[in-house]
């Protein structure tokens, strides 16, 4: 996240350009007025609060956390080749369609956007955040980092800290549970990684979340 703090003006320009390209690709009748300014989005980006790390998401999947909703923002062709367990597909170009509004603008689920890396998922997050939607996050590092850390964890040195060794044990167990072929470790999958999982904010309204999309 170091580059976010180095030159905020450049980052702000990139955000505005990215948003411009995305919105231009979306039919005009599916867009709605933005509620947050680009500066407000920039401030949130700099804080990094939109990210959930791979360990946190893996634990939620393994625990079958009922509030987790994974949203794959890649094209459908890529989604059909591989996706995370239980994920639904909302390609980035279709994100502002009214068809998906009840999924993205709600207070019951923890939505996690992901793509191969973080860029496309961040663009998705920026769009829905500017609309004022909450409970939407980004899988840090995307699928590339997911495969490196969760599906194919590298064994740390024996001199590593207890936290690092416990994290490796968790990743090995999660890898096996998620089809990565990791060996069962002595640490159970229920062992906490020490990170707090964001929960939806308590609000008065409740919206019905639609089922899976293709």
Tokens of 55: 């360990």
Neighbouring-strand partners of residue 52:
139
Q: Tokens at residue 143, please? A: 């699928």
Q: What is the pLDDT of residue 47?
A: 85
pLDDT confidence bin for 2, thresholds 50/70/90 = very low
pLDDT at 110 (0 to 100): 97
pLDDT at 27 exceeding the cut of 80: no
Structural domain spans, the chain: 1-214
Share of the chain above pLDDT 90, in %: 54
Residue 19, pLDDT above cutoff 60: no
CATH topology of domain 1-214: Oxidized Rhodanese; domain 1 (3.40.250)
pLDDT at 78 over 70: yes
Rounded to whole angstroms, how far apart are CA atoms 137 and 116?
A: 15
Q: What is the DSSP letter of 194?
A: S
Q: How confident is the model at residue 50 (pLDDT cuts 50, 70, 90)?
A: very high
- Output b/e per residue, 142-175; b: 16+ Cβ within 10 A: bbebbbebbbebeeeeeeeeeeebbbbbbbbbbb
What is the overall mean pLDDT for the chain? 78
Inter-residue contact 110 to 137 (CB < 8 Å)? yes
> Helix (H, G, I), strand (E, B), or coil: what is residue 72?
strand
CB 169 within 8 A of CB 37: no
Residue 201 CB coordination number (10 Å): 8
Phi, psi (degrees; rounded to nearest 5) at 170: -60, -45
CA atoms within 13 A on the CB side of 115: 17
CB 175 within 8 Å of CB 152 = yes
State the pLDDT at residue 48: 87
Is residue 131 over pLDDT 70? yes
Residue 112 β-bridge partners: 70, 137
The whole-number average pLDDT for the span 176-199 is 49
- Residue pLDDT, tens place only, 143-168: 999 999 999 999 989 898 999 999 99
Cα gap 164→173, rounded to integer Å: 14
In 3D space, the residue among 133, 105, 131 whose CA is nearest the CA of residue 207 turns out to be: 105
Q: Is the pLDDT of residue 12 over 90?
A: no
pLDDT category of residue 195 using cuts at 50, 70 and 90: very low
CA dihedral sign, ordered 41, 121, 75, 199: negative
* Model confidence band, residue 17 (pLDDT cutoffs 50, 70, 90): low
């Amino acid at each position: 996240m170091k580059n976010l703090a180095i030159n905020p003006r450049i980052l702000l320009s990139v955000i505005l350009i990215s948003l411009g390209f995305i919105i231009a690709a979306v039919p005009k009748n599916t867009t709605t007025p933005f509620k947050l300014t680009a500066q407000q989005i920039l401030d949130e980006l700099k804080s990094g609060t939109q990210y959930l790390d791979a360990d946190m998401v893996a634990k939620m999947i393994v625990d079958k956390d009922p509030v987790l909703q994974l949203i794959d923002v890649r094209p459908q062709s890529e989604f059909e080749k591989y996706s995370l367990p239980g994920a639904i597909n909302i390609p980035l170009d279709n994100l502002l369609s009214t068809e998906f509004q009840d999924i993205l603008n709600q207070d019951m689920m923890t939505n996690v956007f992901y793509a191969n890396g973080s860029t496309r998922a961040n663009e998705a997050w920026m769009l829905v955040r500017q609309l004022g939607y909450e409970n939407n996050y980004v899988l840090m590092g995307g699928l590339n980092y997911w495969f490196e850390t969760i599906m194919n964890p590298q064994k740390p040195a024996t001199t590593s800290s207890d936290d690092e060794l416990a994290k490796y044990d968790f990743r090995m167990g999660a890898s096996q549970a998620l089809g990565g072929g990791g060996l069962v470790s002595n640490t159970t999958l229920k062992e906490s990684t020490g990170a707090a999982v964001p929960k939806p904010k308590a609000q008065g309204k409740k919206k019905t979340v639609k089922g899976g999309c293709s």
